[in-house]
């Protein structure tokens, strides 16, 4: 286990810490030498400038070599770090021994400066290293002091120097303890940093994934929009018996509204407008699926009541709609000269503007009970009933998706059916295009800059 620990790599940031710590040791040593020069200048002891410079150069050169090795090697194992630390400790202790011996009566100054240097390297040493530095320095100081006074005959008192050492020992202990807590906090910060880096990496991956999904969603929207443009009417058909106009405003890139005009021999035979619930790609795809189904059933059920068209279409679409939890509201008209057959599947009511009375009536029965359920919803009664009514020349039929009447202004008030009826009655329109423009103008004046919350489709038909 110890062998595995010694050959394990150390974090790259510890190299930088070691280099900075070594530079600070050099700076601390330089400060101590300057103090020695000052003492020499003031005549406080007999150390020569030559001796002081020798010690300074020795420590600085050896420390610089270790810094250079650390800078060049970059990648270190644990035993490399301990080898460099041990070498640095030996070099510094040799320099410290020479310095203590040469300071003589001022040798206690070396102890003070050693404490300063040990404090400087706190931020890169661990508890064991700090204890080795502190204990080694004190032991070195006591031994050199004993040699200086007892063997070399320098002046001074062993008892006094021992007292100084014991007095400063608690400071060394505090420094070592501080090194422990500083390293513990640093390790905790490194762990937090590593976790944050991992979270940032994961967040970047998630962000890239979201960008890809957004791009795919945009591509899907573009494809659905292009398909809708192909299969939906781009203009009203040219017929002899009706004048028509329409507008569709999708809530997003694609619409959940779809409509169709059924013609034969230049005459209008029918109109339909449907609204799939919800927004986005799913409703848009349902419109692409449902439109040809409803068209086919309109043609096949031409000899049957109009409700049969919706019943047959519902049978074909029910399973698909139920699987995606969507439904379709809508209405359909069948025209035969001045007769109109009308069926409604849970959709806003058809409006009939009568040119003779210049008024709008809502096409429904007396109890509003004829309206059927939306397509795709299972009901006890699956039948759709139809109503029949007549139109005269210059009468208008207006039908729309609920995005129109549910549009709101800045005060949160809905446009509503009553405002729509007022707009129709006050239009004085002579054709379908003018009537449609007047309705759109009325909506824009009411809602202003507020975007509608749903798709809007409006179809206007005038009887010629």
Counting beta carbons within 10 angstroms of the beta carbon of residue 148, is it exposed (0 to 12), middle (13 to 18) or buried (19 or more)?
Answer: buried
Mean pLDDT of 76-105: 73
Spatial contact of 318 and 374, defined as CB atoms under 8 Å apart: no
For the CA atoms of 61, 67, 72, 75, the dihedral, rounded to the nearest 10 degrees, stands at 150
List, for residues 132-150, the tens digit of each pLDDT value. 777 777 788 788 888 888 8
Judgement on whether residues 446 and 342 belong to the same structural domain of the protein: yes
Both structure tokens of 265: 């021999």
- Backbone φ, ψ for residue 15 (5° rounding): -60, -50
Q: Which of 16-30, 34-48, 276-290 has the lowest mean pLDDT?
A: 16-30
Judgement on whether residues 343 and 406 belong to the same structural domain of the protein: yes
List, for residues 159-191, the tens digit of each pLDDT value. 777 777 777 767 667 766 666 677 677 677 777
Beta strand 328-336 pairing with 339-345: antiparallel
Q: What is d(CA 120, CA 29) in angstroms, rounded to the nearest whole number?
A: 11
Q: What is d(CA 366, CA 456) in angstroms, rounded to the nearest whole number?
A: 28
List, for residues 358-385, the tens digit of each pLDDT value. 999 999 887 667 888 899 887 655 688 9
Write down which residue in 152, 185, 201 finishes a domain: 201
Judgement on whether residues 294 and 395 belong to the same structural domain of the protein: yes
* 183 assigned to some structural domain: yes
Counting beta carbons within 10 angstroms of the beta carbon of residue 203, is it exposed (0 to 12), middle (13 to 18) or buried (19 or more)?
Answer: exposed
* 288 assigned to some structural domain: yes
Predicted TM-score (pTM) of the model is: 0.58
Q: 188 lies in which domain range?
A: 2-201
Write down which residue in 181, 201, 221 finishes a domain: 201
Judgement on whether residues 280 and 157 belong to the same structural domain of the protein: no
State the chain's mean pLDDT as an integer.
81
Spatial contact of 394 and 349, defined as CB atoms under 8 Å apart: no
Q: In what order do the strands lie in the sheet with 351-354?
A: 242-249, 456-463, 396-400, 351-354, 359-362
Judgement on whether residues 92 and 236 belong to the same structural domain of the protein: no
* 290 assigned to some structural domain: yes
**1-6, long-range: CB < 8 A, 24+ apart:** 5/78, 6/77, 6/78, 6/79, 6/82
Beta strand 351-354 pairing with 267-276: unpaired
Chain centroid to CA 216: 17
DSSP code for 151: I
Spatial contact of 403 and 456, defined as CB atoms under 8 Å apart: yes
Spatial contact of 100 and 149, defined as CB atoms under 8 Å apart: no
Closest CA to 264 of 336, 312, 330: 336
Mean pLDDT of 351-363: 95
Biggest CA pair distance of the chain: 136
Judgement on whether residues 189 and 240 belong to the same structural domain of the protein: no
CATH of the domain at 240: 3.60.40.10
Spatial contact of 282 and 260, defined as CB atoms under 8 Å apart: no
Place of tokens 């400060």: 31
Mean pLDDT of 424-432: 93
Judgement on whether residues 20 and 87 belong to the same structural domain of the protein: yes
Domain count, the chain: 2
Write down which residue in 201, 221, 243 finishes a domain: 201
Within 8 A by CB and 6+ apart from 329, the residues are 274, 275, 277, 345, 346, 347, 374, 375, 402
* 418 assigned to some structural domain: yes
pLDDT at 167: 73
Judgement on whether residues 376 and 419 belong to the same structural domain of the protein: yes
pLDDT at 29: 65
Mean pLDDT of 217-225: 72
């Amino acid at each position: 286990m110890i062998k595995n620990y010694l050959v394990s790599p150390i974090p790259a940031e510890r190299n930088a810490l070691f280099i900075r710590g070594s530079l600070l040791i050099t700076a601390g040593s330089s400060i101590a030498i300057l103090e020695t020069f000052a003492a020499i200048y003031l005549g406080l002891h007999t150390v020569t400038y030559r001796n002081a410079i020798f010690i300074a150069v020795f420590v600085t050169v050896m420390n610089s070599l270790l810094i250079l090795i650390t800078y060049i090697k970059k990648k270190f194992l644990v035993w490399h770090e301990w080898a460099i630390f041990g070498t640095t400790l030996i070099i510094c202790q040799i320099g410290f021994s020479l310095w203590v011996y040469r300071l003589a009566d001022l040798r206690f100054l070396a102890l003070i400066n050693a404490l300063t240097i040990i404090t400087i390297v706190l931020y890169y040493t661990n508890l064991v290293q700090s204890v080795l530095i502190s204990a080694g320095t004190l032991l070195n100081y006591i031994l050199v002091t004993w040699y200086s006074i007892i063997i070399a005959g320098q002046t001074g008192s062993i008892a006094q120097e021992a007292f100084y050492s014991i007095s400063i020992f608690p400071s060394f202990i505090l420094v070592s303890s501080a090194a422990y807590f500083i390293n513990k906090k640093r390790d905790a910060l490194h762990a937090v940093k590593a976790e944050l880096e991992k979270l940032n990496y994961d967040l970047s991956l998630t962000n890239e994934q979201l960008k890809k999904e957004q791009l795919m969603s945009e591509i899907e929207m573009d494809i659905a929009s292009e398909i809708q443009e192909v299969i939906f009417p781009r203009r009203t058909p040219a017929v002899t018996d009706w004048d028509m106009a329409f507008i569709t405003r999708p809530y997003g890139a694609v619409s959940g509204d779809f409509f169709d005009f059924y013609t034969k021999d230049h005459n209008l035979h029918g109109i339909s407008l449907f609204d799939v619930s919800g927004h986005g790609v799913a409703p848009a795809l349902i419109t692409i699926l449902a439109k040809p189904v409803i068209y086919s059933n309109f043609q096949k059920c031409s000899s049957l009541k109009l409700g049969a068209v919706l019943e047959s279409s519902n049978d074909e679409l029910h399973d698909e709609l139920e699987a995606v939890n969507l439904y379709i509201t809508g209405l359909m008209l069948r025209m035969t000269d001045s007769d109109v057959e009308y069926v409604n599947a849970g959709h806003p009511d058809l409006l009939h503007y009568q040119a003779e009375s210049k008024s709008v009536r809502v096409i429904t029965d007396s109890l509003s009970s004829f309206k059927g359920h939306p397509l795709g919803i299972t009901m006890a009664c699956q039948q759709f009933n139809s109503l029949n009514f007549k139109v005269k020349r210059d009468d208008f039929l207006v039908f729309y998706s609920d995005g129109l009447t549910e549009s709101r202004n800045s005060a949160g008030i809905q446009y509503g059916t009553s405002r729509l009826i007022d707009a129709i009655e006050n239009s004085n329109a002579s054709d379908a295009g003018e009537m449609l423009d007047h309705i759109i103008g009325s909506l824009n004046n009411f809602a202003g800059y507020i975007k509608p919350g749903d798709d809007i489709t409006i179809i206007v038909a005038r009887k010629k």
